[in-house]
Amino acid sequence: MSGDHSDAPIAARVRHLERLLEERGLVIPGALDETLAAYLNRASPANGARIVARAWTDPDFGARLLADAPAVIAELDLSMRGGLQVQDLQVVANTDREHNVVVCTLCSCYPLALLGPSPTWYKSESYRSRVVREPREVLREFGFELRPEVEIKVWDANAETRYLVVPNRPPGTENLAEEQLAALVTRNGLIGTAPV
């Protein structure tokens, strides 16, 4: 299946709507494309990694992040704003006894601004259906084996709420600076399908 959907019916409707907005003078020609391109250029897993590294190094930031993520990520000049709709962000933290993993069972809702474009597997029907029923097996297929006593919580993202996982901080990283810690965090770690 091709990633180019320019001939899809929804793409034709979007182009028609853009033309109408431009013809009526409500939008400067090309402005929507420029805004989208600028947004996508800023969308990166490095944003989520910065959030995690700050939570690891600043316990107060970490506690506030779990309580009110949208307000707290603004301190890092980040947001979930990606167009007209602003989604809520919930941050969940892994512990030695609990592991979190994120899925969107209905489609592929995902915090694009903080994790960059979603991986292909995240959108697959297999991942979306199986991680809810058999999360331990799915994580094992990613090469991530959890101890049997670790409880796995699966968080189902939707149009209103997106999730980000704060992975366990790796042992032996106590002397690393925040920037060095951020470099250890991967997109899969932010989704919960890989350790850091």
Distance from C-alpha of 168 to C-alpha of 99, rounded to nearest angstrom: 9
The active-site residue out of 2, 44, 79, 109 is: 109
Distance from C-alpha of 135 to C-alpha of 193, rounded to nearest angstrom: 9
Distance from C-alpha of 123 to C-alpha of 54, rounded to nearest angstrom: 29
Residue 108 appears among annotated catalytic residues:
yes
Tell me which amino acid residue 182 is.
A
Distance from C-alpha of 185 to C-alpha of 93, rounded to nearest angstrom: 14
pLDDT digits (tens, 9 = 90+) for 67-104: 999 999 999 988 876 543 446 899 999 999 999 999 99
Residue 2 appears among annotated catalytic residues:
no
- Which residues neighbour 42 within 8 Å (Cβ) at sequence distance 6 or greater? 113
pLDDT digits (tens, 9 = 90+) for 38-59: 555 578 999 999 999 999 999 9
Residue 118 appears among annotated catalytic residues:
no
Residue 129 appears among annotated catalytic residues:
no
The active-site residue out of 44, 79, 108, 118 is: 108
The active-site residue out of 107, 124, 126, 129 is: 107
Spell out the domain ranges in the chain. 9-39, 44-191
Residue 3, pLDDT score = 46
Tell me if 79 sits within 8 A of 113, measured CB to CB. yes
What is the pTM for the complete model shown? 0.79
pLDDT over 90 at 5, yes or no = no
CATH topology of domain 44-191: Nitrile Hydratase; Chain A (3.90.330)
Instruction: Residue 110: name the closest of 166, 156, 62 by CA.
Output: 156
